[in-house]
Amino acid sequence: MAEYVFETEGVKKTFTFLNRKAPYGTIYALEVLETVLISAAFEQHANIVFVDDGVYQIKKDQDTAAINMKNFSPTYGIIEMEKEDADEDEDMDMVWRIIVEKESMEARGLSPDDFKVEVEVLSSAELADVLEQSDVVIGG
């Protein structure tokens, strides 16, 4: 069980985190979030994408008190802050995008006002291009 050592110094990739699952019903949303935050430490480009029921992850006003589960939606605010820090810091070569697919959003009767973070709304065709330009896709 020898630890493998990767040469990652100076390697810049574009990660896409593809969120397609609703929160709370399963754990997938939470654990993808943790991966997104870790990737910041490696200064990688990242697309944080919400598709299908994943768009429900960023719904405003989540209150989990009565189901006694941790409300992890504030973490999306942390991601938004990381993105803004990266945008403002000229020395930092890290581009993050927070993207919602228009078709998934509209199919669920939602609009950008329903979300707790500011998002780019892209059509399926535009999102297909973003996916195609990714080096690594991690979903959940």
Partner 1 sequence: MKFGILINEGPFTHQASDSAYHFTKAALEKGHEVPRVFFYYDGVNNANKFSAPQADDRNLVKLWGEMASQHNVDLVVCVAAGMRRGITEDSLAEGFRISGLGQLVEAGIGCDRLMMFGD
Partner 2 sequence: MFHTINKSPFERNSLDTCLRLSKKGSAILLFEDGVYAALKGTQVSAKVEGAVGEHPIFVLGPDLKARGLSEDHVIEGVSVVDYGGFVDLAAEHGAVNAWL
CA-based nearest residue to 81, from 110, 117, 47, 49: 117
Q: Which is nearer to partner 1, 31 or 126 (CB)?
A: 31
Q: Which is nearer to partner 2, 112 or 139 (CB)?
A: 139
Residue 139: enclosing H or E segment and its boundaries? strand 136-139
Is residue 127 a contact point for partner 2 (CB under 8 A)?
A: yes
Q: Which two tokens stand for residue 135?
A: 């080096």
CA-based nearest residue to 79, from 114, 113, 127, 118: 118
Residue 81: enclosing H or E segment and its boundaries? helix 74-88
Residue 52 interacting entry, from partner 2, partner 1, none, C-beta within 5 to 8 Å by type: partner 2
Residue 110 interacting entry, from partner 2, partner 1, none, C-beta within 5 to 8 Å by type: none
CA-based nearest residue to 49, from 107, 121, 116, 125: 121
Is residue 134 a contact point for partner 2 (CB under 8 A)?
A: yes
Residues that bind partner 1 (CB under 8 A): 1-4, 6-8, 11, 13, 15, 27-28, 31, 34-35, 38-39, 41-42, 44, 135-140
Report the interface residues with partner 2, using CB under 8 A.
16, 18, 20, 51-52, 101, 103, 124, 127-129, 131-132, 134-137, 139-140
